[in-house]
Amino acid sequence: MPFFDMPLEALETYRPPSPEQPNFDTFWENTLADARTHPINTQFEPFDAGTKLVDVFDMQFNGYSGQPIKAWFMLPAHASKPLPAVVEYIGYGGGRGYPYSWLKWVAAGFAYMVMDNRGQGGSGSSPGDTADYPERSESQALGFFTQGITDPQHYYYRRLYTDAARAIEAVKTHPLVDTTRIAAVGVSQGGALAIAASGLMPEDVSVCVADVPGLCDFKRVVGLTGQVPYNEISTYLQTQRDQVDTVFKTLSYVDGICFAKRSKAYAYYSTGLMDMICPPSGVYAAFNHIDGPKEIHTYAFSGHEAGGEVHQFKKIKFLSDRWN
């Protein structure tokens, strides 16, 4: 796999203009206000996962438009006082799967929640349990990147980002969560959701851990890589040739740059210089718009796995040293 993006010294100063529309804040304020007209209705049902050292709960809360979203919630067994919480978002195509796949953070002593991706879980690493409720049908490429892409009001990621913000509100309802210490974490699409949650909920998310995040700097990245899922957009535009401006206007409402610059969380990012799925220039574009405390771990000879287990160890150590 070759180096294909900017050299590191250029990435470190790469800060394209934010693509946000003039009504960006109003758009998201109205979206969240609409979601909040529905009670969060968080449910934590004990779940027998066969784990002796971890208490597992089948969790559900109301996300976009009051629609039910599934999650797993876990605590170290016999926890008796509020703990810092990690809310994890899942990569493209994946669902919440089974509890045993998500034990790393709770094993480190954190309260832990992993949110299911609405409509996903049929092609990623693990199955999902949450349906999507599209507001209308129209032409799209295979996958989720072009679902409703001609109108930001109906775009798939408006719904998923709203779910991500409501997940933060939902985890705060548990009495054993320390609401002053919440981290939003995720890899790839999950990293994008962590950035979105930290930008939409700047007073509630203390740390944003985003590994190889996608959905950042669309105008550059869509033309840079031919890999899934960005190629869904370029494939769509091969036939919908008169929709280019419309499509990129919609994407500007979900671009990670816009949320990163609004986040107040400590930013802990990673990227791989050979990552052709979520190219490093997209990651740095968002990272370089952050004005607060931040750090990025760049793995020169890594692709979409970036630091892999080495970086997972660093993340756990970072949050453990910070909060435990």
Q: How far apart, in whole angstroms, are the C-alpha atoms of residue 141 and residue 231?
A: 9
Active site residue 304: yes
Q: How far apart, in whole angstroms, are the C-alpha atoms of residue 307 and residue 298?
A: 8
Residue type, 34: D
Strands 111-115 and 83-89: parallel
From 5, 116, 211, 275, active-site residue: 275
Nearest partner of 148 among 119, 125, 186, judged by Cα:
119
Neighbours of 24 (CB within 10 A): 18
From 163, 174, 188, 217, active-site residue: 188
Length of the chain: 324
* Ramachandran area for residue 87 (φ above 0: left; ψ -120 to 50: alpha; else beta): beta
Chain centroid to Cα 290, Å, comes to: 17
Active site residue 289: no
Active site residue 188: yes
Residue type, 241: R
- Greatest alpha-carbon pair distance for the chain in Å reads 59
From 174, 289, 304, 311, active-site residue: 304
- Which residues are part of the catalytic machinery? 188, 275, 304
